Every structure is written in structure tokens, then in C-alpha cells.
Chains A and B, each alone.
Chain A
Amino acid sequence: MTALVVIDRAPYGDWRGREAVDMGFSLAAFDQPVSFLFTGPGVNWLRMGQDATELSQKNLARQLGAAAIFGVEALLVDHKALAAYQLSVDTLSSPAQPVTVSPGLYGQYDHILCL
């Protein structure tokens, strides 16, 4: 089973994306092939320079940095959403692969998870 975890929510304001990341890490823990797709406001998970100390929250970019260590296959990022949020693929907090979101992209995975 190949899985794609879709994160289309902005970081910090709610816990949904964080819970999606936990699910993705669990798949990786059990050696299930899993990738993440960041789209819409979700691309802001990958923005450099995050510092949530004043919010008393964990730095989500740093947590996401553990993805490769845990065996997450790829971080995919919607290139249109990157542009919309003035982000560039060369300056993200973790290496991510720009993709065009399409039915064909989703079609490559057996299981799609979007919290």
C-alpha cells in the first residue's frame, strides 16, 4: 500500500495538520511507503524561519525535518501554492519536490489521507 498524506491547512492555527503528520509518521514506522503533499495554505509548513516559542508551540518545520529520518519517502509541494504564498522551492525548511496537483498525481497512491 502506498499512501499520500495531504496537508492543505495552514500550520499553528489548528491541530489538524499536526495530527496528519503523526499519521504519516506512523505509516513510516510500520514501513508503509508514505509521502506528504503540501497544498493550499499547507505549503506554509515548509517556510523557513519559523519560531513558535511565543506561542508555546513546537516548531512544526523542525518536526517535519524528522520525516526523512523516519522513512517518509518524499515531501511533495504544490508549485502553484508555493508561488501564491511567495515561497520558492530552493528556500524551504526541508527538501521538497515541486509537483503539479492533478488527478493523475493522486492516482499514483493507493491510500489518500486528508484530515
Chain B
Amino acid sequence: MNPVAEPKRNNEGFLENPADWSPDVAVIIAAESDLSLEDKHWEIIWLLREFYKLHEISPPSNRLFVKAVKERLGEGKGNSVYLMQLFTGKPAKTACRVAGLPRPTNCL
């Protein structure tokens, strides 16, 4: 069995080529952070991908990631505690990695 050919990624686990992303790839990347993806994760993943498609940038920082989520899903989900529970570590970085977006510039 060869479920998904693992695409090329950089040393922090981000995809080298965004076109390699698929939901199956997301599952593999997430597993490395001990995340098993549930609906609540997918909601954010699709939101991030939609955001990237519309604006051609990853939210450049955690704070702006939270704002982007808040704008779409309201305060209940657009807050850093909720997003930190979903995406461990630095939530913007982890979520962008799983969603196949470029590494945020981390400039904030």
C-alpha cells in the first residue's frame, strides 16, 4: 500500500511546492505535530486556504491569523486560546504548514 507519495518539504515541514497539497497530505503533516484532524481543524484549514487564494499572503503573524479567523467565524473561534488548542505550538505557523501555505514571514 502506498497511500500518498510524500511531497518535498523544507526543514520546518512546509511544502516546497504549494500545488502538492491535498487533504491527505494535510493529514500527514498534522500527524507530525501529533494532531489528528477533526472538523474543527478542517474549518480553519479551508478558511486559511481561501484566505490565501483571495489575498495571496499567509496571515503574517499569529495576531493577524486570529483576526482573519475572527472576521469569518466570529469571536468564539477567532481568539488565540481556541486556535492554540487546535494548532499546537505557534498556531499560525502550524496551521499554515498543515494547510499547505507558505511559512509566514513571522515578522511580528
Please tell me whether chains A and B touch each other in their complex, using a CB distance cut-off of 8 A: yes
Q: How many chain B residues have a CB neighbour from A under 8 Å?
A: 14
When the two chains form their complex, are residues A26 and B108 in contact, meaning their CB atoms are under 8 A apart? Answer: yes
When the two chains form their complex, are residues A71 and B55 in contact, meaning their CB atoms are under 8 A apart? Answer: no
When the two chains form their complex, are residues A71 and B67 in contact, meaning their CB atoms are under 8 A apart? Answer: yes
Scan residues 44-90 of chain B and give those whose CB is less than 8 A from a CB of chain A: 51, 54-57, 60-61, 63-64, 67-68, 71
When the two chains form their complex, are residues A63 and B107 in contact, meaning their CB atoms are under 8 A apart? Answer: no
Q: How many chain A residues have a CB neighbour from B under 8 Å?
A: 15
- Residue among B55, B71, B108 with most chain A CB within 10 A: B55
Q: Point out the residue from B55, B57, B61 that lies within 8 Å of A29, measured CB to CB.
A: B61
Residues of B within 8 A of A26 (CB): 61, 107-108
When the two chains form their complex, are residues A29 and B63 in contact, meaning their CB atoms are under 8 A apart? Answer: yes
When the two chains form their complex, are residues A70 and B107 in contact, meaning their CB atoms are under 8 A apart? Answer: no
Q: Point out the residue from B60, B71, B108 that lies within 8 Å of A69, measured CB to CB.
A: B71
Q: Point out the residue from B56, B64, B67, B68 that lies within 8 Å of A63, measured CB to CB.
A: B56
Verify if A66 is at the interface (C-beta below 8 Å from B): yes
Residues of B within 8 A of A30 (CB): 63, 108
When the two chains form their complex, are residues A25 and B55 in contact, meaning their CB atoms are under 8 A apart? Answer: no
CA distance A33 to B2 in the complex (A): 52
Q: Smallest Cβ distance from B93 to chain A, in angstroms?
A: 15
Q: Point out the residue from B54, B63, B68, B71 that lies within 8 Å of A62, measured CB to CB.
A: B54
When the two chains form their complex, are residues B57 and A66 in contact, meaning their CB atoms are under 8 A apart? Answer: yes
When the two chains form their complex, are residues B107 and A22 in contact, meaning their CB atoms are under 8 A apart? Answer: yes
When the two chains form their complex, are residues B55 and A63 in contact, meaning their CB atoms are under 8 A apart? Answer: yes
Verify if A58 is at the interface (C-beta below 8 Å from B): yes
When the two chains form their complex, are residues A69 and B68 in contact, meaning their CB atoms are under 8 A apart? Answer: yes
- Contact flags (1/0) for A49-80 with B, using CB distance below 8 Å? 00000000011001101100111000000000
Q: Smallest Cβ distance from B88 to chain A, in angstroms?
A: 22
Q: Smallest Cβ distance from A29 to chain B, in angstroms?
A: 4
20 further A-B pairs in the complex, CB-CB below 8 A; given A66-B55, A69-B55, A70-B68: A22-B107, A26-B61, A28-B64, A28-B67, A29-B60, A29-B63, A29-B67, A30-B63, A30-B108, A58-B56, A58-B57, A59-B56, A62-B54, A62-B56, A65-B55, A66-B51, A66-B54, A69-B68, A69-B71, A71-B67
